[in-house]
Structure 1
Amino acid sequence: MRGEVATIAMAVSAIVVLILLIVRVRLSPFVALTLSALGLGLLAGVTPEHSIESFTQGFGGALARTGPVVGLGAVLGGILIGTGGADRIANAFVGKRPLWLTPWTICAAALLVGMPHLFDVSFIMLAPLVYTIARRTKSHLLYIGLPVAAGLYVSHGLLPPHPAPTQAVSAYHANTGLTLLYGLTIAIPSAILCGPLFTLAARRFFGPAPDLAAGPGGTRGEDVRESTASLPLSVISLLIPPGLMLAGTVGMGHAARDSSAFVFFQALNDPILSLLAAVVFAWFALGVRGGYALAAMQKMVNKGVAPLSTILLILGAGGGFSQMLKSIHLDTIIVDHSMHWAVSPLLLAWALAALLRICVGSATVATVAASGIVAPLLVAHPGVSPELMALATASGAVMLSHVNDSGFWLFKEYFQLSVAQTLRTWSLMLSLQSLVGLAGVMLLSTLIGR
């Protein structure tokens, strides 16, 4: 018993050190995760050689499936942005509809556009459109900007191939297609509540209207409406991955496991193959067919994958940290004692991810750390859906974004807000999204029975 207490104390100490290194020392999350993992191994009596071996094993294991999925998603996003397909989709949703409908349509467009893109990239891409619509409709910038941020972050927080949900799927060995199906079930009401409805409720917090000619991207004006990319082909490019994975999930449920049909549907359900199909389609349908030179297409792809280096390093280091927790047998201790816990594993996963998110600021770091700690609970609770565990963790990891989150400052600066305004709008919106995600997960768990 004393040994178990010491192991738990060392694991908690490593997490506290991780938080301090990121928040106080301002170290890169990758370096902080690496130092915390190796320090934990040495503190637990693991030799330096075996500590490094365990860390690299976890690092490679985390990226084995997550890396290609995140990478292909970024490539698809780069093509859609570079060819103007993403702008075309966003403008088609907005059009010349009545002002009261604009938050609804722009939120729907952001939810769709954000599916293959990293949040920062999508936000920066759509910010000029927000300014354009605000000028055109003579409305407050946040009346347009909040629904956009809500739609993008719902995709970012709940739907593969985004890094946090993809890492959670990998950690819990969940079915990607089923996770996507459940995620969409939660994402749509979440986008409605956190986007247009929250925008209406939060209007009294908006404060003075920002200068629409002074903000970042505010002078880009109408050029975002000049895209000649095909709208149907752009939408098809976006919908190929979720369409194939959902078809694969449904097909696997109706085909015999030893049949060729099952193998076919299993391939459709694979996120790497489905994303690769979308990339190939977009390359030819939007790029080559659109008259872009191969060199220009290569630039689009390079621009799409450029932000991935830090994210992939964090994902890998998070996997190494999780493996180190297993090396000191924390997973065995958790499984042995969790049999007697009254708290739901779904609630525990959400709460731990939320706590780490509030402390660290990074949704990705919160997800990889929380999933590494909570994943062993599935052994003690085989009736719990790994897909819902992934979504519970990902939902917790978006809780209460504040000054230690880069997204907080991105939203603040692009929309010319004070820190107080940002806390009353951005931070409240993401806290609501996290709570709605938890409610959706708990409701689904009662409906599906596992």
Structure 2
Amino acid sequence: MSTIDLPALAAAPAAPITSAGHAQLGLAVLVGIGVIVLLIGSLKLHAFLALTIGSLVLGAVAAAPMDKTITSFTSGLGSTVAGVGVLIALGAILGKLLADSGGADQIVDTILARASDRTMPWAMALIAGIIGLPLFFEVGVVLLIPVVLLVAKRGNHSLMRVGIPALAGLSVMHGLVPPHPGPLAAIDAIDADLGVVLALGVVVAIPTLAIAGPLFGRYAARWVDIAPPEQLTPERPSEELERRPSFAATVSTVLLPVVLMLGKALVDIVVDDPADRVQRVADVVGSPLIALLSAVLVAMFTLGRAAGFRRDRLATTVEKALLPIAGILLIVGAGGGFKQTLVDVGVGRMILDISEDWSISPLLLAWLIAVAIRLATGSATVATISAAGLVAPLAADMSTTHTALLVLAVGAGSLFFSHLNDAGFWLVKEYFGMSVGQTIKTWSLMETIISVVGGGFVLLLSLVL
């Protein structure tokens, strides 16, 4: 999942950079992914280098000109860092301010005091679902990571036991519930009724989140038993603070970007006029960059000043926040480069061509097409837009309810099995300090459960509605 999917799709060339056939493209995908797995898993090469080499190998096997392959990779890397990098940096600063001021302690202590060991995963899923409704996945991750890591460490909980429900909450919102950008794009392409999609999306999302989050988290914690990574886990403030921010001030600061982005989404729905002044202001204020930047600036007062920080102490906090994320930015960027290389050599188009002659249920077809494009490109939003555009003609004779279910089928399919070509895969891997294999056994499997369970509930609803 990536905040750069929409611009990346718009920037993709109309024609592939190679004339290779479907068989050769399929082989190129397998070889490219195989090289990445070998370099990281067996040779212990840094993921940034492995993704770079794997992208070049992919282009070579697909018979793409090397200069165009390099351009695809670098443009994908650049657009990913442009779209995600600043958000990660701002989120890291906000997280550091939360930690150093004692604000994160305040949140964690309150959660630990009110939630038992049994209810903690459900509490994390609920919090993530609420926060993740209007947010891109990456923004939600950087906002929640400090809380997840601190809850796991302070409460002596398994990291996967509380982390998987939080990730599931963000991911379910990403794929199934408007006003998230993915579902909104599918609603527009298929011309579905937003209110019906929202209502049915919530019906599908609740049981899907319960199964893929707290319930699956039990098994994920058994398979992958890891401690929160020390370099990314916020510590208690090193100095003794005379005071710390109140719980209300801390939560309000964390939710500020959520409120701003949700406000933008609501204005877009109600006004729906790009020339309207209110919508133009909301589009700026509610953009992820401005929303997070506003939260950071507010946090300097509501958190930093409230804890007694002076200007030099605030400057030190910002500087220290940025040091641990350099490696994460490069890896996530390289994952975006690999994804763009796949798109530009024509793998997504190959999947669409192959699927045109399938004679199956429209809802199942929509899910399968989104799954195939997701596996090939690593992008949930590219999968959503491509699949929605392909199956849109099928909605002509559908009822309003089934048209909404078609949107949800596309959304569910777009989340299937996040792997090496997804920037979100590398983001989760690095933030949680896992190996590639551990990330596949937890994050990738969780995404697959969301996709399959969500798709199953969509098909079930189609039989009763």
TM-score range, shorter-chain basis?
0.5 to 0.7
1:397 aligns with 2:418: yes
Deviation at 1:35, TM superposition (A): 0.7
How far apart in 2 are the matches of 1:14 and 1:75?
35
Deviation at 1:157, TM superposition (A): 4.7
* Aligned residue type for 1:127: A
CA contact (8 A) 1:73 1:275 kept: yes
How far apart in 2 are the matches of 1:376 and 1:93?
41
Identity of aligned residues (%): 25
Structure 1 unaligned segments of length 5 or more: list them.
Answer: 132-140, 161-167, 207-216, 357-365, 400-404, 413-418
Q: Which residue of 1 aligns with 2:142?
A: 117
- Residue number among 302, 310, 317 corresponding to 1:285 in the alignment: 302
Structure 2 unaligned segments of length 5 or more: list them.
Answer: 1-18, 133-139, 175-179, 188-193, 223-232, 396-403, 421-427
Deviation at 1:231, TM superposition (A): 0.8
CA contact (8 A) 1:33 1:317 kept: yes
Q: Deviations over 1:111-130 (max 9, x none)?
A: 78994537775554333421
Q: Which residue of 1 aligns with 2:261?
A: 245
Q: Deviations over 1:84-127 (max 9, x none)?
A: 21221121133267776566557656878994537775554333
* Aligned residue type for 1:396: F
| Range that drifts further, 56-65 or 342-351 | 342-351
Count of matched residue positions in the alignment of Structure 1 and Structure 2 = 385
Paired residues for 1:403-422 under 5 Å = none
Q: Deviations over 1:132-176 (max 9, x none)?
A: xxxxxxxxx66xx6653344433565578xxxxxxx979x9889x
* Aligned residue type for 1:38: L
Cα RMSD over matched residues? 5.0
How far apart in 2 are the matches of 1:390 and 1:69?
24
Structure 1 residues 97 and 321: alpha-carbon distance in aligned structure 2, compared to 1, 3 A threshold: closer
Q: Which residue of 2 aligns with 1:66?
A: 84
Q: Deviations over 1:44-73 (max 9, x none)?
A: 343333332232122212222222222222
Deviation at 1:20, TM superposition (A): 2.5
**What is the TM-score normalised by the length of structure 2?**
0.64
Structure 1 residues 398 and 151: alpha-carbon distance in aligned structure 2, compared to 1, 3 A threshold: farther
Q: Which residue of 2 aligns with 1:380?
A: 390
Q: Deviations over 1:267-314 (max 9, x none)?
A: 244111111111111122111232112333233334433332222222
1:297 aligns with 2:311: no
Deviation at 1:249, TM superposition (A): 0.9
Deviation at 1:236, TM superposition (A): 0.7
Deviation at 1:34, TM superposition (A): 0.8
Structure 1 residues 118 and 36: alpha-carbon distance in aligned structure 2, compared to 1, 3 A threshold: farther
1:311 aligns with 2:328: yes
SS in structure 2 at match of 1:25: coil
CA contact (8 A) 2:355 2:369 kept: no
Q: Which residue of 2 aligns with 1:36?
A: 54
Paired residues for 1:209-224 under 5 Å = none
Q: Which residue of 2 aligns with 1:265?
A: 282
How far apart in 1 are the matches of 2:120 and 2:25?
54
CA contact (8 A) 2:245 2:306 kept: no
1:4 aligns with 2:14: no
Q: Deviations over 1:322-370 (max 9, x none)?
A: 33224333333333333234554545555786x89xxxxxxxxx945x8
CA contact (8 A) 2:417 2:444 kept: no
How far apart in 2 are the matches of 1:7 and 1:259?
46
How far apart in 1 are the matches of 2:99 and 2:86?
20
Structure 1 residues 53 and 117: alpha-carbon distance in aligned structure 2, compared to 1, 3 A threshold: closer
Q: Deviations over 1:188-229 (max 9, x none)?
A: 656655666668x87xx98xxxxxxxxxx9x99xx9999722
* Aligned residue type for 1:308: I
SS in structure 2 at match of 1:95: helix
CA contact (8 A) 1:58 1:316 kept: yes
- Residue number among 31, 36, 40 corresponding to 1:22 in the alignment: 40
Deviation at 1:16, TM superposition (A): 2.4
CA contact (8 A) 1:346 1:442 kept: no
1:126 aligns with 2:151: yes
How far apart in 1 are the matches of 2:453 and 2:337?
31
CA contact (8 A) 2:172 2:450 kept: no
Q: Which residue of 1 aligns with 2:162?
A: 148
Q: Which residue of 2 aligns with 1:234?
A: 250
CA contact (8 A) 1:154 1:187 kept: no
Paired residues for 1:81-230 under 5 Å = 81-95=99-113, 104-105=122-123, 115=140, 117=142, 122-131=147-156, 147-154=161-168, 157=171, 192-193=210-211, 228-230=244-246
How far apart in 2 are the matches of 1:191 and 1:233?
29
Structure 1 residues 146 and 335: alpha-carbon distance in aligned structure 2, compared to 1, 3 A threshold: closer
How far apart in 2 are the matches of 1:107 and 1:2?
44
- Residue number among 339, 344, 349 corresponding to 1:322 in the alignment: 339
CA contact (8 A) 1:157 1:398 kept: no
